[in-house]
Amino acid sequence: MWLPTDSPGKRLRKVLLLGAGLGLAGLAYGLLCRRLGFGIPCLFNLVTGLQCPGCGVSRMCVSLMTGELAAAWEHNPAVLCLLPFGMAVGLDCALRYIRTGVSAPHRWAERLCAAMAGILLVFGVARNF
C-alpha cells in the first residue's frame, strides 16, 4: 500500500498556495477583462457560430466579482448553478489530500462531475435552439 511521504501540514501549505495562486490569477484575469471589455474568445464559437456550454463564463465571473448576480445569470445560468457543486468537489478533494495524501476524488465526487458534465452538454445543445 502506498503511503504519503509528506506531512499533512506540508500538504495544507501546498493546497493554500495553489488556492491563493488560482485566486490571484482569477482576480487578475477578471480585472483585465473588466478593464479591456473582453476576455478569451471561444474557439468553438468562432468556428461554428454556436455557443458552447462555457460561453459567457468570463463575463459571469466578472459579474460575480462586482456582485451583479442577475447579470451573472444572464451570461451563463448553468455554470452559475453548478458552481457550488464544483466548489464542493474541489473542497472535498483538497481536504482528502490534506488528510491522507490521496488526490483522487471520492466516488460520489466522480459521479457528481459526470452528472455536471451531462447537464452542461444538454445546456450547450439547448442554448443554441
Number of domains in the chain: 1
- CA-to-CA separations, 116 to 10, 74, 81, in angstroms, rounded: 32, 19, 10
Which DSSP string do the residues of 71-115 spell out, in sequence order? HHHHH-HHHHHHHHHHHHHHHHHHHHHHHHS--SPPHHHHHHHHH
What lies within 8 Å, CB to CB, of 62 at 6+ separation is 30, 33, 34, 39
- 2 inside domain: no
- 50 inside domain: yes
- 56 inside domain: yes
| pLDDT tens for the chain, residues 1 to 129 | 556 678 999 999 999 999 999 999 999 998 888 888 877 888 999 999 999 999 999 889 899 988 999 999 999 999 999 999 999 999 999 999 999 999 899 999 999 999 999 999 999 999 998
Reported pTM: 0.85
- 1 inside domain: no
- 122 inside domain: yes
- 4 inside domain: no
Q: What are phi and psi of 39, to 5 degrees?
A: -125, -160
User: 37: domain range?
Assistant: 9-126
